[in-house]
């Protein structure tokens, strides 16, 4: 089965499903992966902090490191073009100056607005209140992950979000600081070789209240 590239939004949304088995002959170039990540990072984030960080695991060595950490998801690790490990950066507040300065440079934000907002943001996400920061980072990183899955479909690829891996070991295994980088999920990406499994959803009336 080959996913067709489409820009039809409803087709992208309704046609997405978790694909666990991929064509091993298909490699996604670094250039195309960069475009996919750029498009994914158009996702919104709290105060535009963009706390997500990506580790693209697409080499044989990288996959060999990952495989024992994702024992129940071996097919995705082995057959995908890449597994993208999504992390949240507990030091993301350090990028706030850069982000807001970029907005000023591009003429998207007046300097005085930047000068008011940056200290306010740093005050809100104080280093002592790690729970607030962590919650925010995990929400934002979930949003970028979802967007990445949809963008992948627009590029003709399929994905599987994976939570079944050794989250306590992944950062260190790849030489990253485990206290700084929160594991969010793995996303396998590649060309599907089967159609996956259709899945059901709860009726909206069972999960929604209108007041």
Ligand X SMILES: Cc1cc2nc3c(=O)[nH]c(=O)nc-3n(C[C@H](O)[C@H](O)[C@H](O)COP(=O)(O)O)c2cc1C
Which residues sit at the interface with ligand X, rule CB under 6 A? 17-18, 20, 73, 160-164, 185, 196, 199
Phi, psi of 22 (to 5 degrees): -125, 160
Q: Return the number of the residue (110 or 164) whose C-beta is nearest ligand X.
A: 164
Q: Which residue is nearest to ligand X (CB)?
A: 164
Q: Return the number of the residue (76 or 96) whose C-beta is nearest ligand X.
A: 76
Closest CB 160 distance from ligand X, rounded Å: 6
Phi, psi of 179 (to 5 degrees): -80, -20
> CA 195 to CA 156: how far, in whole Å?
14
Q: Return the number of the residue (118 or 138) whose C-beta is nearest ligand X.
A: 138
Closest CB 164 distance from ligand X, rounded Å: 3
8 A C-beta contact, residue 22 and residue 191: yes
8 A C-beta contact, residue 81 and residue 157: yes
Closest CB 113 distance from ligand X, rounded Å: 36
Cα-based distances in Å from 153 to 2, 23, 40, 61: 11, 15, 11, 27
Using the Cα atoms of residue 138, residue 136, residue 140 and residue 171 in order, give the sign of their dihedral.
Answer: negative
Instruction: Look up residue 210 and give its two tokens.
Output: 């209108």
Q: Return the number of the residue (33 or 187) whose C-beta is nearest ligand X.
A: 187
Closest CB 35 distance from ligand X, rounded Å: 23
Q: Return the number of the residue (9 or 108) whose C-beta is nearest ligand X.
A: 9
Closest CB 104 distance from ligand X, rounded Å: 36
């Amino acid at each position: 089965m080959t996913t067709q590239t489409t820009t039809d939004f409803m087709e992208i949304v309704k046609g997405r499903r978790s694909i666990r088995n991929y064509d091993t002959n298909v490699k996604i170039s670094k250039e195309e992966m960069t475009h996919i990540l750029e498009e994914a990072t158009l996702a919104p984030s709290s105060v535009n902090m963009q706390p997500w960080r990506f580790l693209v695991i697409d080499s044989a060595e990288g996959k060999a490191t990952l495989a024992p950490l994702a024992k129940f998801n071996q097919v995705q690790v082995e057959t995908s073009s890449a597994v993208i490990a999504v992390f949240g950066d507990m030091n993301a507040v350090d990028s706030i100056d850069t982000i807001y300065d970029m907005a000023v440079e591009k003429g998207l934000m007046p300097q005085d607005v930047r000068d008011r907002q940056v200290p306010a943001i740093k005050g809100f996400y104080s280093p002592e209140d790690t729970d607030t920061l962590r919650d925010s980072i995990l929400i934002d990183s979930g949003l970028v992950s979802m967007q990445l899955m949809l963008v992948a479909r627009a590029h003709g690829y399929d994905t599987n979000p994976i939570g079944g891996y050794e989250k306590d070991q992944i950062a260190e295994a790849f030489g990253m600081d485990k206290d700084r980088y929160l594991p969010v999920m793995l996303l396998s990406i590649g060309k599907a070789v089967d159609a996956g499994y259709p899945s059901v959803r709860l009726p909206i009336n069972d999960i929604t209240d209108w007041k």
